[in-house]
Amino acid sequence: MSEASFALTLGGIAFLLSVIWGRPLIRILKMLEIGDQIRIELRERHMTKMGTPTMGGLMILVPVVLITLVLNVVNLVGRTVIGPSILLPLAVLISFAMLGALDDWQGIRGKRAEQGLGITARQKFGLQLLITLGAALALRYLLGAPALILPALPFEIDLGLLYIPAAMFVIIASSNAMNLTDGMDGLAGLVAATIFAAFGVIALLQGQVFIVRFCFTIVGALFAFLWFNVHPAEMIMGGIGSEALGATMGVVALMTGHWALLPLIAIIPVAETISVILQVGYFKATGGKRIFKMSPLHYHFELLGWSETQVVQRFWLISLMAAMVGIGLALL
């Protein structure tokens, strides 16, 4: 079986496992009353979503973790199905999922639950720094990941010790950007699946077969999640999913060395993040004026009159085109 075929097969298995486990998970989340809190500014438009089960990222994470661990156990009997290097993105996935779960839980049961807010930004950032420092050191000194590959250049760019803070920034920024993207039914899932598929193809071109398998396992699980997350959503990803997927996305990009293409391939999360930075900065600088009707960016277009489905589909089309261009640049 070719590497691409095996990776796609893993994606199919992840899809089936996730779909089977999705309906019981929804029942469990409803029984535990783990429902979404809608931001005050949007309650009139999204009141029907109030109480929709959140922390649905568990539906993605459990099959991905199980499949990856099983394949690593197979390695112990002498057949290399997936490399030990994949344990790093898996560890980051689990670590950020735990952080996201804490954030979600505080947003539901914590002191700031009425505002739909989880742990403080300072607490979250501190934990992110600890996790990403370990990941960056492992990338450089244990895995020997490519430092930086730019399109059309036949050599790597050695960043020296600057690689450590750069890698930390990439992982943290990716995690937070994907978390901001998770605001409409299907948006984060579609965008994340597109990004992981793109870097899976890039890894395939490099011959990094284990990354290919890992990426398409995630894509399969994301497709299954979208089965229940398309409008009107039966469950919401939550920070346990979006923060974990975003951080893992950054690690995968770093492992390919093509992390300079991440802002292009992940154009939607990047645009969402920039819209928030601009909105907050302009608001503070002008004493209350705004650039956008609301941030992140998807809410701006909704307030302009686009339906939620239109926003999601159009953002996804942009994401697809950006991914195609990113893969093309990686081929140079």
- The pLDDT value recorded for residue 150 is 95
User: Do 180 and 276 contact (CB within 8 A), yes or no?
Assistant: yes
| d(C-alpha 89, C-alpha 94), whole Å | 9
What single-letter amino acid sits at 53?
Answer: P
- Of 11, 31, 22, 15, residue with least CA distance to 57: 22
- What single string gives the DSSP state of each residue in 267-291? HHHHHHHHHHHHHHHHHHHHTS--S
Residues 266-277, buried b or exposed e (16+ Cβ, 10 A)? bbbbbbbbbbbe
Token code pair at residue 252: 């995968």
Taking residue 50's Cβ as centre, other Cβ atoms within 10 Å add up to: 11
Report how far residue 269's alpha carbon sits from residue 34's, in angstroms, rounded to the nearest whole number: 26
Helix, strand, coil percentages for the chain (3-state, nearest 5): 75, 0, 25
Question: In the prediction, which pLDDT does 73 show?
Answer: 72
User: How sure is the predictor about 273, in pLDDT bands with cuts at 50, 70 and 90?
Assistant: very high
Structure tokens at 149: 């590959």
Of residues 76 and 244, more confidence is placed in: 244
Query: In the prediction, which pLDDT does 52 show?
Result: 82
Report how far residue 196's alpha carbon sits from residue 246's, in angstroms, rounded to the nearest whole number.
Answer: 10
Q: What is the pTM of this model?
A: 0.93
Cβ contact 293:303 at 8 Å: yes
Q: Given this model, what pLDDT does residue 41 score?
A: 47
Q: Write out pLDDT tens, residues 46-90.
A: 555 666 888 899 999 999 999 998 887 766 555 555 566 789 999
What pLDDT, on the 0 to 100 scale, is given for residue 103?
87
53 forms bridges with which residues in the sheet? 35
Q: Are 184 and 308 in contact (CB under 8 A)?
A: yes
Task: Judge residue 65's burial from the number of C-beta atoms within 10 Å of its C-beta, 0-12 exposed, 13-18 middle, 19 or more buried.
Answer: middle
Task: Provide the greatest CA pair distance for the chain.
Answer: 65
Give the bridge partners for 35, in sequence order: 53
pLDDT score of 40: 43
Q: How many CA atoms lie within 13 A of 74 on its CB side?
A: 11
Domain ranges of the chain: 3-330
pLDDT(42) > 90 = no
The predicted pLDDT at position 47 comes to 53
pLDDT of 85-137, one tens digit each? 789 999 999 999 999 999 888 877 666 555 556 688 888 999 999 999 999 99
Q: Write down the number of H helices and E strands in the chain.
A: 13, 0
> Are the C-beta atoms of 4 and 201 separated by less than 8 Å?
no
| pLDDT tens track for 166-191 | 999 999 999 999 999 998 999 999 99
Q: Can you tell me the distance from the alpha carbon of 329 to that of 256, in angstroms, rounded to the nearest whole number?
A: 14
Measure the CA–CA gap between 73 and 19, rounded to whole angstroms. 24
Q: Report, as an integer, the average pLDDT of 257-271.
A: 97
Measured CA to CA, the distance from residue 158 to residue 82 in angstroms comes to: 28
**Residues in the chain, how many?**
332
Rounded to whole angstroms, how far apart are CA atoms 196 and 216?
Answer: 7
